[in-house]
């Protein structure tokens, strides 16, 4: 680990001013950043510790039913907030499917959104990586790439974004509030993460030194609470990143879908909203055929970036399954993700 300065600001304004210096990085819980520093994949010259800042750990409800979540709210605190889990069950389900209990207790909302790719070559300073070192090349392209992107990738970078949390957030039109030296602004979550193109090192829409102060979910998202699910396919039943994942949410009136939300995780460098598929579902009865058509549409532009064609079929199947589960209705006990086969409980109990 290289030497770095450690700054403990007292206000957001102080944090943003400190971060304006080149080579700065915000430190939230450090569950991603400190790991990357230890292995030399990230080498900030100064860390701006966000843990002492007041007002960033609140969950605030709006009169209309929307919610504003401070950037330092811990992943577990949000998932187990009874009102939040009832209004946004697929988001709680996604949070609880990520990492481990210990990590979720520490990891923050802002840190989860801003976590870096899990591409093994990105994490290995000895490997060529355009994301870490622009112009260096991409060792993943001809390397071990069975977990890499199948949508939106480029010859420069085929990495995926690993967050579970972001997947339902993008489906529900979440917005992030960010603050920088120029003041405060909002960015739709869908525009926060960038596709790689020729500049994979530019990972998000944040300007240098800008920090996320809060995340908002609009009231409309709660309108899907009775038919909303997050489903994650992984190589172990817990403590593993997604191979593919999906968030699906429906509103059904008189046997016909009146509104649909659909997104995929671990397929691209950003959480992937399937808007055409959503539009195709509206006006259809919630049948297996309609769900299969939607999944085909969602993956129409998917193509392997390496040894990962299987992810396209897995993504298609998980979309159909997530839509079918959403149509059945949100279970009373969340999440209903498969628990360990050794557990006496069929799913971790989460009673909102």
Ligand X SMILES: Cc1cc2nc3c(=O)[nH]c(=O)nc-3n(C[C@H](O)[C@H](O)[C@H](O)COP(=O)(O)OP(=O)(O)OC[C@H]3O[C@@H](n4cnc5c(N)ncnc54)[C@H](O)[C@@H]3O)c2cc1C
Assess 160 for contact with ligand X (CB under 6 A): no
Of the pair 33, 247, the CB lying nearest ligand X is at 33
Assess 272 for contact with ligand X (CB under 6 A): no
What residues contact 342, with CB distance under 8 A and at least 6 apart?
Answer: none
Binding mask 84-103 for ligand X (x = CB under 6 A): --------------xx---x
Binding mask 181-200 for ligand SF4 (x = CB under 6 A): -------------------x
Least distance from ligand X to the Cβ atom of residue 108, Å: 3
The answer to whether residues 232 and 335 touch, using CB atoms and an 8 Å cutoff, is no
Torsion of CA 266, 269, 273, 274, to 10 degrees: -80
Assess 222 for contact with ligand SF4 (CB under 6 A): no
For helices 288-298 and 310-328, angle between their N-to-C axes, nearest 10 degrees: 140
Q: What is the largest CA-CA distance in the chain?
A: 63
287-346 positions binding ligand SF4, by CB under 6 A: none
For residues 199 and 185, what is the distance between their CA atoms, to the nearest angstrom?
24
Residues linked to residue 214 through DSSP beta bridges, in sequence order: 70, 177
Of the pair 108, 145, the CB lying nearest ligand SF4 is at 145
Q: Which stretch binds ligand SF4 (CB under 6 A): 44-52, 123-131, 169-177, 183-191?
A: 123-131
Q: Which stretch binds ligand X (CB under 6 A): 59-67, 109-117, 125-133, 298-306?
A: 109-117
Binding mask 137-176 for ligand SF4 (x = CB under 6 A): -xxx----------------xxx-----------------
- What's the length of the chain? 352
Collapsing DSSP to helix, strand or coil, 332 comes out as: coil
How is 126-173 classified by DSSP, letter by letter? TS-BTTTSTTS-BTTTTSS-TTS-SSS-BTTB------STHHHHHHTT
Assess 152 for contact with ligand X (CB under 6 A): no
Least distance from ligand SF4 to the Cβ atom of residue 39, Å: 14
Task: Return the residue nearest ligand X (CB atom).
Answer: 111
Q: What are the structure tokens assigned to 330, written together? A: 């949100």
Positions touching ligand X (CB under 6 A) are: 25-33, 35, 50, 71, 98-99, 103, 107-108, 110-112, 114-115, 162-165, 211-212, 241
């Amino acid at each position: 680990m290289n030497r770095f300065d450690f700054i403990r600001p007292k206000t957001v304004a102080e944090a943003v001013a400190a971060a304006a210096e080149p080579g700065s990085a915000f430190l939230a819980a450090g569950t991603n950043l400190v790991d990357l520093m230890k292995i030399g994949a990230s080498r900030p010259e100064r860390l701006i510790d966000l843990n002492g800042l007041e007002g960033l750990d609140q969950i605030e409800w709006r009169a209309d039913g929307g919610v504003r979540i401070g950037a330092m709210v811990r992943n577990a605190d949000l998932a187990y907030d009874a009102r939040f889990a009832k209004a946004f069950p697929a988001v709680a389900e996604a949070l609880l499917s990520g990492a481990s209990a210990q990590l979720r207790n520490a990891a923050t909302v802002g840190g989860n959104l801003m976590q870096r790719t899990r591409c093994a070559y990105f994490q290995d300073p000895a490997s060529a990586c355009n994301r870490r070192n622009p112009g260096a090349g991409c060792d993943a392209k001809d390397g071990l790439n069975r977990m890499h992107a199948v949508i939106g990738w480029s010859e420069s970078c085929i990495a995926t974004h690993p967050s579970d949390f972001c997947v339902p957030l993008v489906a529900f039109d979440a917005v992030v509030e960010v603050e920088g030296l120029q003041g405060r602004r909002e960015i739709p979550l869908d525009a926060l993460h960038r596709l790689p193109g020729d500049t994979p090192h530019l990972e998000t829409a944040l300007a240098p030194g800008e920090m996320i102060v809060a995340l908002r979910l609009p009231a409309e998202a709660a309108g899907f609470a009775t038919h909303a699910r997050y489903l994650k396919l992984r190589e172990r039943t817990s403590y593993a990143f997604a191979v593919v994942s999906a968030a699906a949410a429906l509103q059904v009136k008189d046997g016909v879908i009146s509104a649909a939300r659909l997104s995929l995780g671990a397929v691209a460098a950003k959480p992937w909203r399937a808007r055409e598929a959503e539009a195709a579902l509206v006006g259809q009865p919630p049948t297996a055929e309609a769900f299969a058509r939607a999944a085909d549409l969602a993956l129409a532009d998917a193509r392997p970036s390496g040894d990962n064609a299987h992810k396209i079929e897995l993504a298609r199947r998980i979309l159909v399954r997530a839509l079918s589960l959403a149509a059945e209705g949100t279970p009373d006990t969340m999440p209903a993700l498969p628990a360990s086969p050794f557990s006496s409980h069929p799913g971790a109990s989460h009673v909102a």
